[in-house]
Structure 1
Amino acid sequence: MNGPRTLYQKHIDSHTVCTLDDQGHVLLYVDRQVANEYTSPQAFSGLREAGRKVRRPGATLAVVDHVNPTSPKRIAAMADAGGALQVSYFQENCDHFGIELFNVLDKRQGIEHVVAPEQGFILPGMVIAAGDSHTTTYGALGAFGFGIGTSEIEHLLATQTLVYKRLKTMRVTVQGELGAGMTSKDIIMALIRRIGASGATGFAIEFSGPAIDALSVEARMTICNMAVEAGARGAFMAPDEKVYAYLADKSRAPKGELWTQALASWRELYTDADAPFDREVMLDAGELEPMVTWGTSPDQAAAIGDCVPDPMNESDLIRRQDLQRALRYMGLEPGAQLSDIQISHAFIGSCTNARIEDLRDAARVVRGRKVASHVRAMIVPGSTLVRDQAEAEGIAQVFIDAGFEWRQSGCSMCLAMNDDVLAAGDRCASSTNRNFEGRQGAGARTHLMSPAMVAAAAIRGRLTDVRAMAEEA
């Protein structure tokens, strides 16, 4: 491609094996992939049935995270027979095909999108694919990650390539500065509300601007993780000195002369001046307020000081019916103050917000306070290493003293595939990425927000502006 190029175009061009047609399809080389026990079984079975090998076993990192229990005492045994079978078959496949596995009792175990970055397995300039839509998380490191289906996992394991269609490009520029109590979760939730749950369908999003530059690498991961909730197939930021510092001490990052060479290459990963984007979106971080969802889609969100919207104010009939259905499911009335909504559960965890910085933010709110008597509050760290670090820093004890359950790492109540499940009618303040009907349990009601906002809700027993908690401290 001639002329100035976006960072996305540079990623795809550098990994294109050949062009397949004039519709944008290419054969794309994939540097690395992450596998889990839930989305991989059929792919491995397909390889076995065809008598194929995994082309590059060392390019795959396998992690048990979706179905494992997160009870406070880590055990390998699982009460759920189906989950136990998935884990055992995963182990069998990893042994057979020579793939490294972080199993349940491994000290490196955790949620795949937390584990892979903290191991240094994801590096700038790489193309990463995995059987999970939130593989977009890796864009925070200047990589390009995207989710794939089971048949694609099989093809990738066998060939280290994928048939891929180029995406359109969108740049989201975030100006200004985040105010006190505001987080990257509020930025991405505000964007999803602005453009809609399908507003980025067919696009790769590049995030830029002074508010993005000011964020830590872990905070950037939250944004890239949730960009898929706007329909994006990829999301990333250009790598910078914060990314290099984050990677420098990671066990699998390059060392010595290789590190020097890598840095020189990574510093070329940026969008060229005057490179055109198919769509531009602007946000002002200084105008944002803490966000919460009120409905059953991540774009059904509002600032905590707002009210539940009235569907009758929506002129589009289909959208009005969607809003009415969402409010029926959530058990909410139009005009109700969001800050008056009582909760029964509070959950801090998931690949979106369960890293050490997230736990630190929540602990600052919780310290010296108690969880409301009617609330069950849970903390599920994103990895065992995060859990160990939180215990070493005294954060875990802050949560325990306040009345939170301090649990082991895993996906847990983000998608309720283990025994961490809400009952019908339960209402949860959650740091996760999806609030779909039944996501955390059949009939359960989910309100998405930042970890600090979840902590505030757990203490107050209702949705709460975390900034008011800071004023009381």
Structure 2
Amino acid sequence: MSLTLYEKLVHQHMVAEIDAEHVLLYVDFHIMNEYTSPQAFAGLHAAGRSVRRPEAHLAVVDHVNPTQSIRSLHEIADAGGRLQIETLTQNCSRHGIQLFDLFDPRQGIEHVVVPENGFAWPGMVIACGDSHTTTYGAFGALAFGIGTSEIEHVLATQTLVYKTLKPMLVVVDGVLPFGVTAKDIVMAFVADVGAAGASGYAVEFTGTTVSALSVEARMTLCNMAVEAGARAAVIAPDRQVFDYLADRPHAPKPGDLEAAKAHWRSLQSDPDAQFARIVQLNAADIAPLVTWGTSPDQSAPITSVVPEPASEAHERALAYMGLSAGQNLTDIRIDRAFIGSCTNARIEDLRKAARILDGRKVADGVTAIVVPGSKQVRRAAEAEGLDQVFRQAGFEWRGSGCSMCLAMNDDVAVDGERCASSTNRNFEGRQGRGARTHLMSPEMVAAAALIGKLSDVREIMEAAV
């Protein structure tokens, strides 16, 4: 029987078939954070259960921690956040689970540290209490977010009751135009199908454009597929993935790597596999995008205007954002610029943003911060001198964490502030009560910071040629 890559991954991990829609799925690797795990451990302890395979789990502190330098947990002002971190530490110690705490040199955002340490391999099933777990699909893994009760279940059994999805193929062909990035591709996809257009689907990205992307850029694609409602996103692994994994601390050792590659090469959709839906995008038609509303699918090319509202939801979004139909997007002033998050805070993202900022200054009145996705990314950036480029341009250079992606820590925008952001969600209040978020690529955030308005990064890039 011909199968899609997604279907192969499900079949290879199916412990038992429960009914026509559900299977019991084996989970190769599970990641936890301080925010979504406490209740799961509490349930586990109340039932008198232990963790079945402690070595198949990793815990990371990333959501609630400050990104300003601290020397101890006592310096964290938020008592609730401090308690969450302390609770995770206690739970990991009790069950022998590896923890990247705030003072571990490997600490960072979970969806950054897992790939960079080689925990995510082609063919794996990976679960985490965070919706952007889809990031690991860039390696040809089936990865998805789970809820608290599911975290408890996987801790106790290393399995999950899993509802199978319909396969969707997203084909992106052609050469990306000047100034267009992976962030623009996935924002174009989300805008094309809508915020719920991929609900019930597992998305497979393919095409010549996707094949030409770096592994880090592919992570951006898979990370934001969830903003179209997809619970899984995969890309068939290739030589770029194999090369990325070589010499990573937790990847297969050199003696085992060749045998692993033989299996990984089989992780492709069969030529005659059937997809429930096929979406085709032409790379040449994609421009640098920014969001104008309060949902990731409400975006437009930077050279266009705020659209006429097509629904009551659009009217509410414009009212919240303080915008009017017909405004030039490039006339919209910003108060903040944020480069970070599990979507766009890897070393490749920082390099690209730094190239835009090099030798230039952030506009007066703009508060700009950059938060590397991990301590390892931070060290790599500093070794290349990128931190000095950001600092000299007027950006604050911070420690690693989720930071301004969500208002769950010290880094928040205040009511009415407008932020150019490299994050994945622009919901009402996402970056702070009343905060107004415009999503875009890191390069576009850098351009906005320099001009003080939403701006077309291509103009800066052309001036530098």
Under TM normalisation by the shorter chain, which class is it? over 0.9
State the distance in 1 between where 2:210 and 2:12 align.
Answer: 25
**1:363 corresponds to 2:363:** no
State the distance in 2 between where 1:470 and 1:114 align.
Answer: 28
The residue type equivalent to 1:31 in the other structure is D
The residue type equivalent to 2:32 in the other structure is A
Partner residue of 2:46 out of 49, 57, 61: 49
* Residue 209 (structure 2) aligns with: 211
State the distance in 2 between where 1:177 and 1:375 align.
Answer: 34
* Residue 180 (structure 1) aligns with: 178
State the distance in 2 between where 1:434 and 1:441 align.
Answer: 12
SS at match of 1:85: helix
* Contact 1:423–1:441 (8 Å) recurs in 2: yes
* Contact 2:100–2:106 (8 Å) recurs in 1: yes
* Residue 317 (structure 1) aligns with: none
Q: How does 1:49-448 map to 2 (within 5 A)?
A: 49-72=46-69, 75-76=72-73, 77-311=75-309, 314=310, 320-448=311-439
State the distance in 2 between where 1:354 and 1:57 align.
Answer: 29
Task: Kindly state the Cα deviation for residue 256 of structure 1 after the two structures are TM-superposed.
Answer: 2.9
Partner residue of 1:458 out of 413, 425, 449: 449
* Residue 37 (structure 2) aligns with: 40
The residue type equivalent to 2:58 in the other structure is L
Map Cα deviations across residues 229-288 of structure 1 (whole Å, 9 max, x no partner): 000000010000000000002000111331111111101100001101000000011111
Map Cα deviations across residues 81-116 of structure 1 (whole Å, 9 max, x no partner): 000000000000000011000000110000000000
Map Cα deviations across residues 390-439 of structure 1 (whole Å, 9 max, x no partner): 00001110000001000000000000211101100000000000000000
Map Cα deviations across residues 425-464 of structure 1 (whole Å, 9 max, x no partner): 0000000000000000000000000000000000000000
State the distance in 1 between where 2:117 and 2:80 align.
Answer: 29
* Contact 1:74–1:408 (8 Å) recurs in 2: no
Q: CA RMSD in A?
A: 0.8
State the distance in 1 between where 2:285 and 2:6 align.
Answer: 29
State the distance in 2 between where 1:343 and 1:73 align.
Answer: 29
SS at match of 1:178: coil
State the distance in 1 between where 2:184 and 2:288 align.
Answer: 6
Structure 1 length normalisation: TM-score?
Answer: 0.97
State the distance in 2 between where 1:276 and 1:265 align.
Answer: 22
- Mean CA deviation greater in 384-393 or 67-76: 67-76
* Contact 2:413–2:435 (8 Å) recurs in 1: yes
Task: Kindly state the Cα deviation for residue 171 of structure 1 after the two structures are TM-superposed.
Answer: 0.2
State the distance in 2 between where 1:51 and 1:308 align.
Answer: 56
Partner residue of 1:449 out of 436, 440, 443: 440
Give the ranges of 4+ consecutive aligned residues of structure 1 lying more than 2 Å apart after TM superposition.
72-77
Task: Kindly state the Cα deviation for residue 72 of structure 1 after the two structures are TM-superposed.
Answer: 4.5
* Contact 1:70–1:412 (8 Å) recurs in 2: yes
Question: Compared with structure 1, are the counterparts of its residues 225 and 375 closer, same or farther at alpha carbon in structure 2 (3 Å cutoff)?
Answer: same
* Contact 1:72–1:406 (8 Å) recurs in 2: no
* Contact 2:137–2:235 (8 Å) recurs in 1: yes
Identity %: 64
State the distance in 2 between where 1:192 and 1:273 align.
Answer: 26
State the distance in 2 between where 1:196 and 1:233 align.
Answer: 14
Map Cα deviations across residues 335-394 of structure 1 (whole Å, 9 max, x no partner): 000011000000000000000000001000000000001100000000000000000001
SS at match of 1:28: strand
State the distance in 2 between where 1:168 and 1:263 align.
Answer: 27
State the distance in 1 between where 2:460 and 2:71 align.
Answer: 34
* Contact 1:73–1:408 (8 Å) recurs in 2: no
State the distance in 1 between where 2:254 and 2:341 align.
Answer: 34
Task: Kindly state the Cα deviation for residue 73 of structure 1 after the two structures are TM-superposed.
Answer: 5.5
Structure 2 gap ranges (5+):
none
Task: Kindly state the Cα deviation for residue 48 of structure 1 after the two structures are TM-superposed.
Answer: 1.0
* Contact 1:119–1:251 (8 Å) recurs in 2: yes
SS at match of 2:313: helix
State the distance in 2 between where 1:110 and 1:157 align.
Answer: 22
* Contact 2:247–2:253 (8 Å) recurs in 1: no
Aligned residues: 463
Partner residue of 1:30 out of 7, 24, 27: 27
State the distance in 1 between where 2:87 and 2:149 align.
Answer: 18
Map Cα deviations across residues 208-239 of structure 1 (whole Å, 9 max, x no partner): 00000000000000000000000000001000
* Residue 460 (structure 2) aligns with: 469
* Contact 2:34–2:60 (8 Å) recurs in 1: yes
